[in-house]
Amino acid sequence: MPDTFSYRHARDLGVSKRQLYRWRDEGALEVVGRGLYRRADASPADLDLLEIAHRAPEATLCLTSALVQHDLSDAIPATHDVAVPRGQRTPIVAAPVTWHRFDPATFDVGRESLRLDDETEIGLYNAPRSIVDAFRLATDQGPELGNEALRRWLRAGGRPAEILETGTHFPRVLSRLRAAMEVLL
């Protein structure tokens, strides 16, 4: 049995409903979300992100959540910022999530993966894409998020050409990116 599994998967493997609930009641299983379980002896992992990854395979950490993963922000977000392709249904999850719908044509630009445990990964936008998104969505996130992330990224040795190359996929943000880089460089 995998570390994290659904009720349906356990039933398909021949585990009875009664046995599954007994394991849960004995503490051998943790409830990750509705119908989603994790073995108690599994390696530590972020249960919120596990639930999101299992419910929405295309889910990708973005904006503040991605910037924190890249050490480009000290913010402690109250919810996970997660992007899905526009038109895709967002699942109901217990985890605190702010869903963002991104254009399917540019959804995979800068998309990498973050390993949550031995079996599960979730999408994560790379640092340049996360910075571009912070500038692109500055009306929602505030301009300081993108400016601070860009400042930190440049101080850590990030190359301006990488940001501009990612920015070419989002032409409306290029002028703001260039202006911010002129001030910082």
Mean pLDDT split into 10-residue runs, the chain, 185 residues: 93 95 95 94 94 96 98 95 96 96 98 96 98 95 92 95 95 94 89
Longest CA–CA span in the chain (Å) reads 64
pLDDT of residue 184: 87
| Per-residue pLDDT at 127 | 98
pLDDT at residue number 185 = 80
Full-model pTM? 0.90
Q: Does one domain contain both 73 and 161?
A: yes
Residue 156: domain span: 58-184
Number of domains observed in the structure of the chain: 2
Residues 27 and 71 in one domain: no
Distant-in-sequence, close-in-space partners of 58: CB < 8 Å, separation ≥ 6? 84, 85, 88, 107, 123
Same domain, 36 and 94: no
